[in-house]
Structure 1
Amino acid sequence: MNFDARTALIPIDVQCGFDFPPWLARNNPAMETNGLRLLDAWRRAGLPLIHVRHDSVMAGSSLAPGHPGNAHRPGFAPLEGEALVTKSVNAAFIGTDLDLRLRRLGVDTVVLFGISTDMCVSTTARVAANLGYRTVVVGDACACFDLPDADGRVIPADQIQRAHLATLRAEFAQVVDTDEAIAALMTRAA
């Protein structure tokens, strides 16, 4: 694996709103640490970076503009000059200019991480792959939440994470960890 100027990092929905109801218990407490490591390495490498923020249109959503939860988590807000795409659905490509931005940059590979693995990260990865991008998901820089099933039982977030990363790996994306992604950047610099 090698990342070059045609590779864009896309942090997805790393927002404070997931700390508010109705979100249940979250897995992967290392998500923020790993995501910040990726952002730092990416910025130092000078490769394309496009942030994605969910601006919910659902009444009462903790991710709605104007709600404190709409803000990026500490350290994840775009720096001056970094692009931000806002969306109101799961896939960052739907109803946005993300695809156009990537194509104008000459990007052919996208590296995704964020919240939540099974929702917006997975949906964006699937659409990216369908649009022809080489898609990489940094699994240990993603997180998801416990989820009730149709019988009222709760499926633990770790099980949901494993299943969704396995599904992505099977058909839509290469799934790596933060160390592997950073090593791919270091290979570029060598």
Structure 2
Amino acid sequence: MEITENAALVVVDVQEGFEEEAYWGARNNPDADRNIAALIDAWQASGRPVVFVRHDSDKPDSPLRPGYAGNDFKPYVEERRGKGRGDELFVTKSVNSAFYGTPDLDTWLREAGVRQIVVAGIQTNMCAETTARMAGNLGYGVFFPLDATYTFDGVGPWGWTLGAEELARATAVSLHGGGFARVVGSRELVAAVSA
């Protein structure tokens, strides 16, 4: 696995509000937070850039709304901000893609000469997937460490329901099979940047 010297890690929406199980329901991948932390540590130690993305929901009942405690990054993310040797960016958004946030992620990446990104965070099939798809469309080489993401059970049309693990697998198949991203494990990425 070839990870460029300036490949950016994009950490999407790792916020306290996602701990509110009464709002979101059952989640998958209990190891995701540990794997996200390991990626941040590896990226910061290697001097590569890290982007921290926060979702500022405009829905008044959302646990991710500004001014509510759930809008804050989870403590393990907040304590790592500003600790790396590489460049760091903080993006806020109110839609699924980190590329539609403030400041403009695409402009920042291009000005830094970044052509390869890693997308980790919450939710697998929502903001993480949308960010990865858009990155692929914009021409970036994208790695998607599935085990550094998680999601929740979902309900769709006609009462269809899918469990969180099914939704995560669907994301992996769509991203990898569709050519948007290379779906990998977080350990592979940590090993690649630590070598």
Same fold (TM over 0.5): yes
Question: Is the contact made by 1:13 and 1:115 (CA closer than 8 Å) also made in structure 2?
Answer: yes
In 1: Cα distance, 2:173 partner to 2:26 partner: 21
Equivalent in the alignment of 2:65? 64
Equivalent in the alignment of 2:74? 73
Percent sequence identity over aligned pairs: 44
In the alignment, which of 104, 107, 110 is matched to residue 103 of structure 1?
110
In the alignment, which of 117, 127, 130 is matched to residue 120 of structure 1?
127
* Shift in alpha-carbon separation, 1:95–1:86, aligned structure 2, 3 A: closer
Trace 1:39-50 onto structure 2 (pairs within 5 A).
Answer: 39-50=40-51
Equivalent in the alignment of 2:154? 147
What secondary structure sits across from 1:52 in the alignment? Answer: strand
When normalised by structure 1's length, the TM-score is 0.93
Partner amino acid, structure 1, of 2:156 = D
Deviation, 1:79, is 1.9
Question: Is the contact made by 2:92 and 2:101 (CA closer than 8 Å) also made in structure 1?
Answer: no
Q: Which runs of 5+ in 1 are unaligned?
A: none
Residue deviations 1:45-76 (CA, integer Å, cap 9, x gap): 01011111101111121101111110111211
When normalised by structure 2's length, the TM-score is 0.91
Question: Is the contact made by 1:110 and 1:133 (CA closer than 8 Å) also made in structure 2?
Answer: yes
Question: Is the contact made by 1:117 and 1:142 (CA closer than 8 Å) also made in structure 2?
Answer: yes
> Which structure shows the higher helix fraction?
2
Name the count of aligned residue pairs.
Answer: 187
Deviation, 1:95, is 4.1
Residue deviations 1:117-169 (CA, integer Å, cap 9, x gap): 10000100010011110011111000010012323353110011011111100
Partner amino acid, structure 2, of 1:168 = L
Trace 1:127-142 onto structure 2 (pairs within 5 A).
Answer: 127-142=134-149
What secondary structure sits across from 2:95 in the alignment? Answer: coil
Q: Which runs of 5+ in 2 are unaligned?
A: none
Equivalent in the alignment of 1:165? 172
Greater Cα shift, 129-138 or 149-158: 149-158
In 2: Cα distance, 1:57 partner to 1:5 partner: 37
- What value does the CA root-mean-square deviation take over the aligned residues? 1.4
Q: Does 1:22 align with 2:29?
A: no
Residue deviations 1:71-119 (CA, integer Å, cap 9, x gap): 1112112523732100000000014311111111110001010000100
